[in-house]
A and B are shown apart, each in its own frame.
Chain A
Amino acid sequence: MTINQLSIFIENKQGTLLQVLDLLKKAGIQLIATNLADTVEYGILRIICSDPQKAYEALKGEGVAVAMTEVFAVEIDNEAGRGADAIASFVNKGVSIAYLYSFIVDGKGILIFRTDNPELAAEAISNDGLCTLTEQDLSSLV
């Protein structure tokens, strides 16, 4: 029910983001969604892309601190309030969201998020009939 995301440790200084993106470019990776969380000194760059395994190996081979992390990708209707409804399903189950980002594609909203309790989140998804995307779904987008 989850998809693979790349989490990359980068220092908060000029040029570090481009270094990583250049490596992905060389490996022929297409980005689908990105998110950058930053502190004064460093940040975590999170990437959903066309071929996470290949991207992971390309970065690892260049000495980048990269981790493959499992996140949920939930599809919601592109209407006001649907995001709140989806999050409510998780909150009602007692699932905490560690971080979240979103994008819109083909008239659908996609929420990408990580939780500390994936089992409980999966239960919430099944119970409330939420639609999750697989990696195949995502790669068909590119």
Chain B
Amino acid sequence: MIWNPNKECMSTDEMRALQGRRLHKIVKYVYHNVPFYRNKLQKMDVTPDDIRNIEDIHKLPFTTKQDLRDNYPYGLQAAPKSEIIRVHASSGTTGNPTIVGYTRKDIEVWSECMTRCLTAYGVSRDDTFSVAYGYGLFTGGLGAHYGVENLGAAVVPTSTGNTEKHVRLIRDLGITGIACTPSYALYLAETMDHMGIGKNDIRLRVGAFGAEPWTESMRAEIESRLGLKGFNLYGLSEIMGPCVSYECQEQSGSHICEDHFFPEIIDPDTLEPLPYGQVGELVFTTLTKEGMPLLRYRTKDLCSLMNDTCPCGRTSVRMGRILGRSDDMLIIRGINVFPSQVESVVLSMPEFAPRYLLVIDRVNNLDTLQVQVEVRQDYFTEQFDTLGALGTLEKKLADKLKSVLSISAKVQLKAPGTIERSQGKSKFVLDKRQLK
């Protein structure tokens, strides 16, 4: 099934023309409403009238996460405050979260695009659908939730945590669809094993998985253990949230809702656009967003774009699997974590040497984060002569990390000089997860 054939199956020529019109409009809109963009465009000697076709997008400046941080909280907001009806926040690199405000129309577009995703997965109004992304500042929970409601299926807002209860609901309510991170899906399977509930006891048939990188072998494992078909769901809060692209039944790349989010692939070093099929950094321009429209936002995700025809009938450009990042961002339990966030916390505590190691692993299908820090020799005084005092110190760091990262980290105290250094420069991250 296709939710919106008018848009999803539009001829390429028509789509490019629509995108061109929308691009002109959005550039005009930010030019008049966002001083940040007006200054940038004026410096480049570009006016909204120079942007007539979608090809003109190359004349526009890029936007980065750093720009969002520098303009915290509302500097890139284009709509007046009275028009904003929802605010989400994602983690930032220096303690400043990224704030995204949505107008009523933005929420409608989001729901519409999310509904396209669900329909492509084969979800209909007859389904009962569990949304097991976190509800809250993170866009996953509410984003998927609105899509399910818009479609007319019954949404069960299970969120994360209390997995045993979740399993019982899946069984007892005959839940047929689920949206969550792929690692949580595996954890769910694990929990079912412990509870003695098999895939034949449940009726799950569709999974919408995203918010963290995953692989074909993970897909195969999830599908065989939960007895469902798993589909990729891609999104990022700066652009909208989950709904930006989705797999269809063909599962050959993810269709982008390109009437709303225009994709480009660039060389992350030269910033030059790359042709279809080549791997580079994914860049999005929001074509219709009112709250916080972004021009050429650099996602830092590495992938390629495909424009060949998909047998499903949709004509939209598709993106391949995310192959990595062009920066050092880590995705742990679906949450974005930058080593620099950990660094800023460690540096703020004089008890520790300015050196750390993040050890990321996957235990029982759940990501674990351990932060190793060195006790600083000068600070190891009489007051730390008890295990209680050291435990309190550990907890102080763990609490600070939790408030900055939004996920809990296990702190491990190390003796001075014991964290490995390579050629005088510290290696900050040890990712032991096998995502092959």
Measuring CB to CB, which residues of chain A are less than 8 angstroms from any residue of chain B? 7, 9-11, 16, 37, 39, 41-42, 44, 46, 60, 63-70, 98-99, 114
Instruction: Give chain B's interface residue range (CB within 8 Å of chain A).
Output: 20 to 34
The reply to whether B385 and A64 form a contact with Cβ atoms under 8 Å apart is no
The reply to whether A114 and B416 form a contact with Cβ atoms under 8 Å apart is no
**Of B384, B386, B387, B417, which contacts A63 at CB under 8 A?**
B417
User: With an 8 A cutoff between CB atoms, is B269 at the interface?
Assistant: no
Indicate whether A16 sits within 8 Å of B415 (C-beta atoms), given known contacts A60-B377, A65-B375.
yes
Bound CA span A99–B382, Å = 13
Minimal beta-carbon separation of A35 from chain B (angstroms)? 11
Minimal beta-carbon separation of B252 from chain A (angstroms)? 47
Task: Known A-B contacts: A9-B413, A16-B415, A39-B390. Give 16 more (CB < 8 A).
Answer: A7-B382, A9-B384, A9-B390, A9-B415, A11-B415, A37-B387, A60-B377, A64-B377, A65-B416, A67-B380, A67-B381, A67-B382, A67-B384, A98-B385, A98-B388, A114-B386
Bound CA span A42–B377, Å = 15
Residues of A within 8 A of B390 (CB): 9, 39, 42, 44
Minimal beta-carbon separation of B397 from chain A (angstroms)? 14
**Secondary structure at chain A's binding surface: helix, strand, loop or mixed?**
strand
Minimal beta-carbon separation of A102 from chain B (angstroms)? 18
Minimal beta-carbon separation of A13 from chain B (angstroms)? 10
Bound CA span A46–B386, Å = 10
**Secondary structure at chain B's binding surface: helix, strand, loop or mixed?**
mixed
User: With an 8 A cutoff between CB atoms, is B418 at the interface?
Assistant: yes
**Of A11, A39, A60, A67, which contacts B385 at CB under 8 A?**
A67
CB interface residues, B 367-401, toward A, < 8 Å: 375-377, 380-382, 384-388, 390-391
Minimal beta-carbon separation of B398 from chain A (angstroms)? 13
Bound CA span A32–B322, Å = 62
The reply to whether B386 and A98 form a contact with Cβ atoms under 8 Å apart is yes
Residues of A within 8 A of B413 (CB): 9, 41-42
**Of B382, B412, B414, B417, which contacts A68 at CB under 8 A?**
B382
Residues of B within 8 A of A65 (CB): 375-377, 380, 415-416
Minimal beta-carbon separation of B293 from chain A (angstroms)? 49
Bound CA span A99–B385, Å = 10
Q: Supply 23 A–B pairs (Cβ within 8 Å), ascending by A.
A: A9-B375, A9-B380, A9-B415, A11-B418, A39-B390, A39-B391, A42-B390, A42-B413, A44-B387, A46-B385, A63-B416, A63-B417, A64-B377, A64-B416, A65-B376, A65-B377, A65-B416, A66-B377, A67-B380, A67-B384, A69-B385, A98-B385, A98-B388
